[in-house]
Amino acid sequence: MALPKDRPTRSGKSTSKRSIAKKEPSAKRHPQRLGVEERRHQLLELGKKVFAEHAYDELSTDDLARLAGVSTGLLYHYFPSKRDYYRATIAEVARQVLEDTKPIEGASPADAVHHSLEGFVRFIEKNDRLYRALVSGGIGSDREVTAILQSLRDESARRVIHVLGIAHPSPRVLLAAFGWIGFIEFTCLRWVESPTLPREEILKLLDQSLMSLVADLVND
């Protein structure tokens, strides 16, 4: 038995299932899911914003998830507790500081130091609240947070000593370098809070403070 032919419409087009199927819109493509490291990085970036604007003790895990715009389950999947999330965020801040203040290889000591100082000042200008959280510890005497901050300061001091070309620093030189790192840290935070000097002047002050310190150490 022959199958009935498709009846043409007034426009002359067939109404067969095959022709209708061709007209059906294709399925919408779902956005590509983030990988584990990409998602973790995204959560850390969100954590920077949240902890910069809210005190640690004021936040519950549910608050963190809501402010970050993710589910509590997703947050727990990557960070078992609020403290773990905070520690990981602070560690990411420290990593970013070291990245932004990396000296220029092959530059003169003065130029290398100035470049690093510019990077630090830019970071503080954009992340002053976040850096205050790092400096203050945010959650009291947490050993891991304290260790992150100490590691950041130690590496920064080592970089200064390396840039200055001091191969075998004495205990006095080491102590002076660590002291200078603390000086620029708190000077920049104070300056952002109360910018009584132009940006160029604060950079000049920090440059000169190191050069004066180096001169005193060399001449002693």
Give mean pLDDT, residues 178-187.
93
CATH number at residue 122: 1.10.357.10
Containing domain of residue 212, as a range? Answer: 88-219
Q: Please give the Cα distance from 193 to 71 (Å, whole number).
A: 35
- Domain-embedded: residue 113: yes
- Domain-embedded: residue 146: yes
- Domain-embedded: residue 61: no
- Domain-embedded: residue 120: yes
Q: Is it the case that residue 25 has pLDDT exceeding 50?
A: no
Q: Please give the Cα distance from 190 to 32 (Å, whole number).
A: 44
Tokens representing 95?
Answer: 């990593």
Tokens representing 34?
Answer: 């983030």
- Total domains, the chain: 1
- Domain-embedded: residue 155: yes
Closest CA to 92 of 44, 30, 55, 125: 44
Output the pTM of the full model.
Answer: 0.76
- Domain-embedded: residue 170: yes
Q: Is it the case that residue 135 has pLDDT exceeding 80?
A: no
- Domain-embedded: residue 125: yes
The mean-pLDDT minimum among 71-85, 97-111, 134-148 falls in 134-148
- Domain-embedded: residue 75: no
